[in-house]
Amino acid sequence: MAIEGWYANTVFILRWFHILFGIIWIGHLYFFNFVNIPFQGVLEKDLKPRVNPLLLPRALWWFRWGAMLTFLFGWTLLFVKYSGGDLWKDAATGMMSHRAMWILAGALFGSIMWFNVWFVIWPAQRQIIGWVKAAQAPPEMPALAKRAALFSKINTYLSAPMLFCMIAPNNYGSINAVTFIVVLAISMVIVAHLYKISTKVGTTI
């Protein structure tokens, strides 16, 4: 097989795995934010220590390892696709191409999200679940729970523009400040609406 064939197939497989793990990660992020938050709001207090230590560690496992593999496949894909230079530079101007700008913005959003999962949300949740399992509720627990919830919310808001930036290089093309701001604004409106309806939807069959 010609070298171009190997290259195209490698990039394709990397992208496939990248998106597969991205779905696992972001699917769980949405489960936590649009299903679990409203659910915890109506779950009886005495049931929480029985339900949560069985449910949340499982969901958090898929969540954090999905994030890790998406991140690793994403940066590998970026390196493999863009390090050659052809996609990185605009042939006409010699400047950075618009698709490179899109993917750098997406990679930045995605990497901030990955950092929040591994260095804020997961350590906080691990600590909280440990306390719940041991039937302890130290005074620092509410602040830690708030911190985890805040960063989870930040990630949910970032996920919409991040996804736009991921699909833009191959399907959209041009980038400018107005487009970027419009994408951010539409994303915020959509996510805020999803939060709003999440307390009401699915409560009846």
Give 101 or 128: the residue with its C-beta nearer to ligand HEM.
Answer: 101
Residues whose CB falls within 8 Å of the CB of residue 43, separated by 6 or more in sequence, listed in order? 51
Give 77 or 128: the residue with its C-beta nearer to ligand HEM.
Answer: 77
Give 36 or 156: the residue with its C-beta nearer to ligand HEM.
Answer: 156
CB of 150 to ligand HEM, least distance (A): 19
User: Which among 57, 58, 24, 33 is positioned nearest to 154, based on CA atoms?
Assistant: 33
Stretch that binds ligand HEM, among 40-48, 149-157, 166-174, 194-202 (CB under 6 A): 166-174
Count Cβ neighbours within 10 Å for each residue of 8-22 and write b for 16 or more, e otherwise. Answer: eeeeeebbebbeebb
Judged by CB under 6 A, does residue 26 bind ligand HEM?
yes
Binding to ligand HEM in span 69-128, by CB under 6 A: 70-71, 74-75, 77-78, 81, 99, 103, 106-107, 110-111, 114
Cβ atoms of residues 156 and 196 within 8 Å: no
Judged by CB under 6 A, does residue 170 bind ligand HEM?
yes
Give the dihedral sign, CA 52/57/60/66.
negative
Q: Which residue has tokens 């919830």?
A: 149
CB of 112 to ligand HEM, least distance (A): 9
CB of 142 to ligand HEM, least distance (A): 29
* Structure-token pair, residue 110: 């995605």
CA distance 54 to 93: 57
Chain mean position to CA 36: 16
Among 121, 166, 175, 191, binds ligand HEM (CB under 6 A): 166
| Contacts to ligand HEM by CB under 6 A | 15, 18-19, 22-23, 25-26, 70-71, 74-75, 77-78, 81, 99, 103, 106-107, 110-111, 114, 163, 166-167, 169-171
